[in-house]
């Protein structure tokens, strides 16, 4: 069982009139993803950890090092090219 550990944050973009969105929480917690399970099946755990104000089905995962969004229907193992360089910079 391969895992991928990284820090996670969210942007509170629920208010369309707020022009300044900062990643929250300021001290991002670590989350361990399973590389063999589709991200859609893991997003609820991230949502719970962060206590994000969004509905889980309105969430997306964006990489901080290159701005790419991950495909929630795919596993991390299937998206290895997107993750290249991510842990080296973090």
Domain assignment present for residue 4? The answer is: no
> Is 58 among the domain residues?
yes
Mind listing the pLDDT tens digit for each residue in 40-58?
A: 999 999 999 999 988 888 8
Whether 63 is covered by a domain: the verdict is yes
State the chain's mean pLDDT as an integer: 89
What is residue 90's predicted lDDT score, i.e. its pLDDT?
A: 44
- Which residues of the chain carry a pLDDT beneath 70? 88-90
Q: What is the pTM of this model?
A: 0.84
pLDDT of 88 reads 60
Q: How far separated are the first and last CA of the chain, in Å rounded?
A: 23
The pLDDT of residue 18 is: 78
Residue 56 phi, psi (nearest 5):
-55, -30
Instruction: In whole angstroms, give the CA distance from residue 75 to residue 24.
Output: 25
What's 63's domain CATH number?
3.10.20
Tokens describing residue 24: 């929250």
pLDDT at 17: 84
């Amino acid at each position: 069982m391969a895992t991928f550990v990284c820090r996670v944050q969210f942007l509170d973009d629920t208010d369309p009139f707020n022009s300044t969105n900062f990643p929250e929480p300021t001290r991002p917690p670590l989350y361990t993803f399973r590389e063999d399970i589709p991200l859609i099946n893991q997003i609820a755990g991230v949502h719970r950890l962060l206590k994000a104000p969004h509905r889980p089905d309105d969430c997306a995962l964006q990489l901080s090092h290159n701005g790419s969004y991950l495909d929630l229907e795919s596993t991390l193992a299937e998206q290895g090219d997107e993750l290249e360089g991510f842990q080296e910079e973090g």
